[in-house]
Structure 1
Amino acid sequence: MADTEVQFEDPLASHAPSGQQEQVSGEREPDCTESLQNTGQGEVEEPLLSSSAVVAQAPPCGDGAACSCLGARWMERSLESMELQLQLLTSKADDLHNWVTSGQGHFEREALAEAVSRFLYTCQPYFNHLEYLRSHKSQHTLLPFDSYTWLLDFSQQLCDRLEQLVLTYASYNLLCLDETNPNSVSPFCMGQSQLGPLRVAAFRYFKPMPYLAQVHTSLYKRMRWNVDRLREEQSEEGVAKIVGDTEYYFLCYEDIPNAHADAGEDSVVRMWSIGKWVQVTPDTDDIYDWIICEVSQADYHRLLFLGRAEPSSGSATVRLQQMLSSHQTAE
């Protein structure tokens, strides 16, 4: 496989509208969309990334050692490609970070904010392809497990670097992280995967946000997953089309008073969990009910308790996928 080349423009050299797609070659990964009500994000169009990794295909599965050898070589080349892309993306993140912290005031504030917004958009295909490789592990059972550990590590490294970058820009009042603001950059898409009939898109909040915008619930969300349950339906014209219902899952924490704390112990215990958004208001799908509803309300149904330590974004996504897969098997 040829060396991977990732094409970037100098983000401060162009003032194209945020989200504008650049014309580069490569296979499109599945769209990564933002569907939850009242996030201020709207639907996100997916950009293209010039990369030979995007068009990498798994080898045909033969038998025995031949299949294992081909699969291992394919994964090795994919890992090398993804590691190179990670280095390029983190280097660009460092440049953006240095531009604002070095006090180079000749850059306009709007240009700096636009540069970071466009860079977040550029990173989405990379997260998509990492998830694509991880979600296909069941098709390559002879591949070493640590290959998928590497993929998780790549995703976490880029996630951490983006968080550092965006929080720095927010501290300079260059970016907004409040999801009720239409100009907010939080949450951002961390990739999309396919689990049978389920399509899972992961979103990460740059800082914890209240579970509900206008109601205090003591819950704070750190991640969200849009889970589309896809099925095929026939239209009135007899044409088959794929439709789906979307469910929303969250990684949240809550601070629980510790009534039995001894002297010197924490009086509050922070507990993490994964739960499901269960719509309360409006209680119908009627579009008119949604129009007159200023902010939708929902309960949080806890499904997985994760303990006191905050899980990484990758491990939390794996736990959600395992839960969804087990439910699929049970059904």
Structure 2
Amino acid sequence: MTDIEVHVEPQLKNSPSGKPVFEGRQQEDMSELNEPLLLLADAALAPPCGDQGACSYDCEACSHPEVGGMERSIQSMRLQLQFLMSKADDLHDCLVNGQGHLDRDALAAAVPSFLFMCQPYFNHLESTARSTMSQATPLRLDIYTRLLNFSQQLCDRLEQLVLTYASHSLLCLDETEPNSMSHFCIGQSRLSQLRLTVFRYCKPVPYLARFDTGLYKRMRWNVEKLRDEWQQQEADEEQDGESEERDEETVGDTEYYFLCYEDIPNGHADADGDDKVVRMWTIGQWVQVNPDPDTEDIYNWIMCEVPQASYHRLLFLGSDEPSSCCATDYLQQLLLSRQTAE
């Protein structure tokens, strides 16, 4: 996918092409990969504390229904994580242990389908953990940490799965190619009047796909501003009687933020030393340069093959790469501070 990717992203609710994962007996062996993950998201929780044979929670959790309910929900999420991790292992084993007996096209189609299946789980974790950050009663820190640990585990496993398939020339990670699998979605959450959709790049890729700027991106956040209650009411009244489907929640353009690194020359390094450059991780904003985002001339957009943008650095994170969950924490704190300042 080229740099225009920041403007065009498949909707999470859309289905993939529907291509079969495997054929014949292979399809029977791996049919569980096609189970609708949405059913897993509604999996039954553990029995209530009144069931002595099934309840394993302590008395404190039982005496506080909201705590016990969250513990049971976490147990359900843990089971879903185990299921998804096992499916990722199956896909890995099918490639590594039985590559010669499987159709390459079927294998290549299985991974994008599986990544799509994981999106509802990522969304559930992210929205449960993060959407309460700006509320008066946020989650307990230990629960927050456990939920995001589930998300991090699955993200790391899927990243390795994609890299393994790419190493066998079954997937392309080059953004200039239309079928690139350079990144995948790892969840969506809401922060006050903002909706964040998070994407993880399987490996660092150039900030601009066709130009070497010295910047390499690792994550992307699409940040949409949502209508408040009064704006939504006015929009509903204006649309009264219309059947056209559109997202009435969104207001204005989407902003795009990236986690990037760049190698900066180290002026204090020895001439023969290995530390001649220092790697610096930052979070910054995509600031479009061409075509002019304020232009009303539609031909400027039509004639521009790939949009160009500068990188506005907002937060310096040092030389150590943050995990995907920590990086999203940093961005949320940045967005919250901006909202407070406004």
Band the TM-score falls in, shorter-chain normalisation: 0.7 to 0.9
CA deviation vs aligned residue, 1:185-241 (integer Å, no higher than 9, x gap): 221101000011100000001111100122221000000000001223645972384
Higher helix share: 2
When residues 96 and 236 of structure 1 are mapped into structure 2, their CA distance, relative to the original with a 3 A threshold, is closer
SS at match of 2:100: coil
Partner of 2:322: 311
CA drift of 1:45 comes to 3.6
- Whole-angstrom CA distance in 1 between matches of 2:315 and 2:208: 20
Q: Give the counterpart of 2:265 among 252, 257, 262.
A: 257
- Whole-angstrom CA distance in 2 between matches of 1:200 and 1:228: 7
Aligned residue type for 1:227: V
SS at match of 1:211: strand
Q: Give the counterpart of 1:49 among 38, 59, 82.
A: 38
CA drift of 1:294 comes to 0.9
- Structure 1 position 113 matched with structure 2 position 121: no
Partner of 2:90: 95
When residues 41 and 166 of structure 1 are mapped into structure 2, their CA distance, relative to the original with a 3 A threshold, is farther
Partner of 1:243: 250
When residues 301 and 314 of structure 1 are mapped into structure 2, their CA distance, relative to the original with a 3 A threshold, is same
List alignment gaps of at least 5 residues for structure 1: 1-33, 57-64
Residues 85-94 or 235-244, more deviating: 235-244
CA drift of 1:106 comes to 2.0
Aligned residue type for 2:176: T
When residues 182 and 320 of structure 1 are mapped into structure 2, their CA distance, relative to the original with a 3 A threshold, is same
- Whole-angstrom CA distance in 2 between matches of 1:40 and 1:173: 28
Partner of 2:76: 81
- Structure 1 position 227 matched with structure 2 position 223: yes
SS at match of 1:216: strand
Partner of 1:6: none
Aligned residue type for 1:238: E
CA drift of 1:36 comes to 7.2
List alignment gaps of at least 5 residues for structure 2: 16-36, 46-59, 241-247
CA drift of 1:38 comes to 3.7
Q: Give the counterpart of 2:278 among 262, 265, 269.
A: 269
Q: Give the counterpart of 2:198 among 189, 198, 202.
A: 202
Residues 47-56 or 287-296, more deviating: 47-56
CA contact (8 A) 2:2 2:175 kept: no
CA deviation vs aligned residue, 1:149-180 (integer Å, no higher than 9, x gap): 11111111101110111100000000011122
- Whole-angstrom CA distance in 1 between matches of 2:220 and 2:138: 32
CA drift of 1:68 comes to 8.7
CA drift of 1:141 comes to 3.2
- Whole-angstrom CA distance in 2 between matches of 1:217 and 1:86: 38
CA drift of 1:77 comes to 1.1
CA drift of 1:264 comes to 3.5
Partner of 1:20: none
CA drift of 1:291 comes to 1.2
Q: Give the counterpart of 2:302 among 275, 291, 314.
A: 291
CA contact (8 A) 2:219 2:324 kept: yes
Aligned residue type for 2:238: G
When residues 38 and 66 of structure 1 are mapped into structure 2, their CA distance, relative to the original with a 3 A threshold, is closer
Aligned residue type for 2:283: I
CA drift of 1:279 comes to 0.6
SS at match of 1:96: helix
CA contact (8 A) 2:12 2:119 kept: no
Question: How many positions carry a matched residue from both structures?
Answer: 290
Residues 232-241 or 124-133, more deviating: 232-241
SS at match of 1:104: helix
Aligned residue type for 2:257: Y
Aligned residue type for 1:273: T
Who wins on radius of gyration, i.e. which is larger? 2
Cα root mean square deviation, aligned: 2.7
- Whole-angstrom CA distance in 1 between matches of 2:2 and 2:183: 12
SS at match of 2:220: strand
TM score, norm. by length of structure 2: 0.78
CA contact (8 A) 2:185 2:197 kept: yes
- Whole-angstrom CA distance in 1 between matches of 2:127 and 2:111: 25
- Structure 1 position 37 matched with structure 2 position 48: no
